[in-house]
Chains A and B, each alone.
Chain A
Amino acid sequence: MSFDRFAFTRRQGLKAVLASAAGGALGAFGRVADAQAQTRAETLRHVLAGTVNTLDPTTPGATRESFGLSTAVYDRLASYGRKQVNGSWVFDFDNIRGELAEKVDRSADGRTFTFHLRKGATWHDGSPVTAEDVKWSLDRAVSAKSLAAGQIATGSLVKPEQFKVLGEGVVEVSLDRPDRLALANLAVPLSPMFNSTLARRNATAEDPWAQTWLKENTAGGGAYVVEQYKSGQQTILKRNEAWKNGAGGMLPYFRRVIAQTVPEAATRANLLERGDADIAIDLQSSDISALEARGKIKLVATPQINGFTAIVFNTRMAPFDNPKVRAALAAALPYEAMFEAALFRRGRALFGATWTEAPNGTFPQPLPFRTDPAKAKALLAEAGFPNGFKTTFSFSAGVAAVAEPMATLIREALGAVGVDVSIQKLPPAQMASMEVERRVPFFISAGTAWLPAPDYFLRNYFTGDHRWNFSGFSDPKLDALAQAARFEADAATYEATCRQMVDIAARDVPMIMVWQPNQDAVMAPAIDGYTYWFHGQVDYRDLRRA
């Protein structure tokens, strides 16, 4: 990482200010930026609520913003494509292209992938990218104590023996079983490719994978080079002029990117409206309509096709261990009212389907949950609670804007069928630990799957003991189906397996995925090419100023 000065100096700014700001009545507010208008056009200023807390996305505890930043700084072997849906760009999970690798050969049995690295590719320091670098990076991903191991294990990538250097610029990845998600896992931010010579030079005996050094330094070859990194405040990126790994070998448009943490949502909105910032993806949803109406900004609203908001029942806690109780509550929830009041209908509803057997194997898809108080009462009586019961509904203060109106409506609607709900709003860290310890009975949660394959969704959110199985759901049939689907090569069988799983999710109601909220990306009118990515962050390589 280097701390180069900006290409322009403050002196130039001073001259311009002195020339223009005659009088100096506003001296205190002299705006140096004016002089740099030209450079400004080639600079993207992204204002974000969160912080980038590490330059190595695989660091345990890395924030989402760190994942986003790393996509620009590091290349991966492959990348998802992108497609246009209703006029806005979204990532295309079904279309994986090479990034650092220019070609991928997949063996007929689906158990070996041969990556051919792009000839002439270099790291940021100018040294050539070698097959050994790739091998080291993959070894690191499965061996180091980092976030990467857990992620890429979902693609059956678990041990260094699976990665072999076949020759100059050729690496082979072999699998014990033909995992459907192996290749996709090599396209996520947690499998970045490192300049192993540079990284190893900064490794120590206790830290053989240079994890400490890479937190604050980079050893990549991606589209941007980190110019300045102030953890928790801002990161400044400079374009890597030698980068050729993008779609069509194109350089990204912006020469410089400033990612700046601005905690106050109102300030972020102000900055965008004044034209001082170029893009933000985390404004308050209640502000969005007003911003749009004033017309000074451009809004790109994309349903988060790989995410969801869910109302979760703790299936390991009475009375929610009883599927009838869960079904009863599912019939009592005021779906339409919540969608309206909490989300302003900004998203895709996942309730209200009318089928009794899943029509297809896609997931998430709208499930047959509809408001029907009579049915709810009947089911409650059947479950042995004719007079209802008392329970607590919890949510994290971090999502209060959406969860608070939801909670109020839920309390009212469940009160009507005899279930007495008290509302509990908890600090984020406390909510997280209560969820993990499975001590909350009934709550709101949300998730995003990086690999939006139906089986991955169902396996992660409906099976297992890890935290993403919010409801602690355990159903032997679903467990078996989810494991089988992972290695299923036949498309028709895969679809049938997924359909069965969707049926179980709809019948046993461990949690109710209510909707997929929009991601509202607000940007300057001239910014073009914004793409919604599975990681939910801005990929600076897509953007341009029209």
Chain B
Amino acid sequence: MSALLNIGRRVGKHLLASLPALFGVVLFTFLLMRVLPGDPAAFFASGPNAGQAEMAQIRETMGLDRPIPEQFVRYVGDLARGNLGQSMTTGQPVIADLAERMPASLELTLFALVLALALALPLGILAALRPNSLLDHGVRFVCTLGVCVPTFVTGLLLIYVFYYLLGLAPDPTGRVDIFAAPPPGITGFLLIDFLLVGDLAGWKAAFGQLILPACTMALFVLAPLARMTRASLLSVLGSDFIRTARSVGMSDWRVVVVYALRNALLPVLTIIGIVFSTMLGANVLVEKVFSWPGIGSYALDALLASDYAPVQGFVLLIAVIFVMVNLIIDVLYGIVDPRISLQ
């Protein structure tokens, strides 16, 4: 009970502490968007007779005709009511756009992360157990390759081989087969939704669409995860308690998995948190290449068009996610290393 209370107190403290940071993010993005060169009115005034009148009209629609402090007060007021503004690029409210696209990005990122972990942890462990062996060098090679080939190259390459040449993958456009019936909209996570309605063929199709972009992303983040696992495990394996454990004749497996790995996981956990947040915000290119209807490509389009509201909404969302992920990682720390929750 007291442990739960402890966790609850820490969560509350953490959330409170993140409020100023979130406000800072809101203010900073707001100002940044307005300081950046590029006038959205000029960009969107594409009518055949785009004159000053049309641009003034667009500025009025976007509220840009008012002084900046007033714009900010209105923006914060809107935020408080849960209104992130209107996107000019899609013509929809930003909150609706983000809500619709968030599950796509989350599903892709989570799946890619799981895939990456499933590869990176064993590889890291193997590399740490046999440092400087051929195996270790092999793992290093794979990681380096993954991190130094840009994601869009990996993506295009995978599409070329598996879709264009071999015809194994479905066409790399979005989350579902365009000719199939629309997926059931329950959670927005297609793999879950199709299971919920018991549609196995739909599940397979969605999985087929997911696998190439997820591999692309997983390859990219393989390196930090595997390298961190290796380094962390290596230092733990050299510590006194491991020598003691070995000297009392514990099995190798028990020593590595139960004692060494648990102690080595702390830095890996931190990295997972960072990697996850980064993937969510930085998978723009993967989303573009695979026409994935996620938030990354949405924000990029908006940025190129100087469409303020979606970019601000996106940054705020990522900031909130970052706070949440850190919170979860913090709680997990306490589970992995009880000493932390005592402090």
> Contact residues of A with B, CB < 8 Å?
3, 5-6, 8-10, 13-14, 17-18, 26-33, 36, 39-40, 43, 45, 47, 51, 53-54, 59-64, 145, 147, 150-151, 153-154, 190, 215-216, 228, 230-234, 258, 260-264, 266-267, 270-271, 273-274, 276-277, 426-430, 432-437, 449-450, 460, 465-468
Which residue of B36, B91, B163, B180 has the most chain A CB atoms within 10 A of its CB atom? B91
Once A and B bind, how many residue pairs between them come within 8 Å at the CB atom? 209
Q: Are A150 and B304 closer than 8 Å at their CB atoms?
A: no
Bound-state CA distance A465–B50 (Å) is 10
- Which residues on B are within 8 Å of A, measured CB to CB? 36-40, 42-55, 57-58, 61, 88-92, 97, 156, 159-160, 163-164, 167-174, 177-182, 199-202, 204-205, 207-208, 211, 288-291, 293, 297-298, 301, 304-306
Counting chain B CB atoms within 10 Å of each CB, which of A28, A427, A430, A436 scores highest?
A: A28
The answer to whether B90 touches A53 (Cβ under 8 A) is yes
User: CA of A61 to CA of B57 in the docked complex: distance in angstroms?
Assistant: 10
A150 touches B204 (CB 8 A): no
- Interchain nearest-CB distance for B111 vs A (Å): 13
Inter-subunit contact A232/B38 (CB<8 Å): no
Question: A32-B177, A427-B304, A436-B55 in contact; A274/B167 too (CB < 8 A)?
Answer: yes
Residues of chain A with a CB closer than 8 A to B306's CB? 429-430
Known: A53-B89, A231-B91, A430-B37. A264 touches B289 (CB 8 A): yes
Contact A231 B90 (CB under 8 A): yes
A314–B336 Cα distance when bound, in Å, is 66
Which of B55, B202, B298 is within 8 Å of A10, CB to CB? B202
Are A61 and B55 CB-contacts (below 8 A) given A271-B173, A467-B50? no
The A interface is mostly helix, strand or loop, or mixed, namely: mixed
Chain A residues whose C-beta falls within 8 Å of the C-beta of B301 in the assembled complex = 51, 232
A52 to B250 alpha-carbon distance, docked (Å)? 65
User: What CA separation (Å) do A531 and B146 show in the bound complex?
Assistant: 45
User: In whole angstroms, what is the CA distance A386 to B296 when docked?
Assistant: 52
B163 touches A31 (CB 8 A): no
Contact A433 B43 (CB under 8 A): yes
- 13 inter-chain pairs at a CB distance below 8 angstroms, sorted by A residue, are A10-B180, A33-B179, A61-B45, A61-B61, A63-B46, A231-B90, A231-B91, A231-B97, A258-B178, A261-B291, A262-B173, A460-B48, A467-B42
CA distance A260 to B177 in the complex (A): 12
- With a cutoff of 8 Å between Cβ atoms, the chain B residues found around residue A14 in the complex are 199-201
Give 6 closest A-B pairs by Cβ, nearest first: A429-B38, A433-B39, A150-B49, A429-B306, A14-B201, A61-B44
Query: Which residues from chain B contact A47 at a C-beta distance below 8 Å?
Result: 173
The CA-CA distance from A59 to B304 in the complex, in Å, is 20
Given contacts A28-B207, A151-B48, A466-B49, contact A234 B178 (CB under 8 A): yes
Q: Is the CB of A429 within 8 A of B201?
A: no
Assess whether A60 is in contact with B208, with CB atoms less than 8 Å apart.
Answer: no
Residue among A62, A215, A266 with max Cβ neighbours from chain B (10 Å) = A266
Chain A residues, CB < 8 A from B178: 45, 234, 258, 260
Question: Told that A10-B202, A61-B61, A468-B49 touch, could you supply 8 new A-B pairs with CB distance under 8 A?
Answer: A28-B208, A260-B173, A260-B291, A267-B291, A273-B164, A427-B38, A430-B36, A436-B39
Report whether A43 and B291 are in contact in the complex, using a CB–CB cutoff of 8 Å.
no
Question: With the chains together, A65 CA to B51 CA distance in Å?
Answer: 21
Instruction: Give A10 to B54 CA distance when docked, in angstroms.
Output: 46
Question: Are B38's CB and A432's CB within 8 A?
Answer: yes
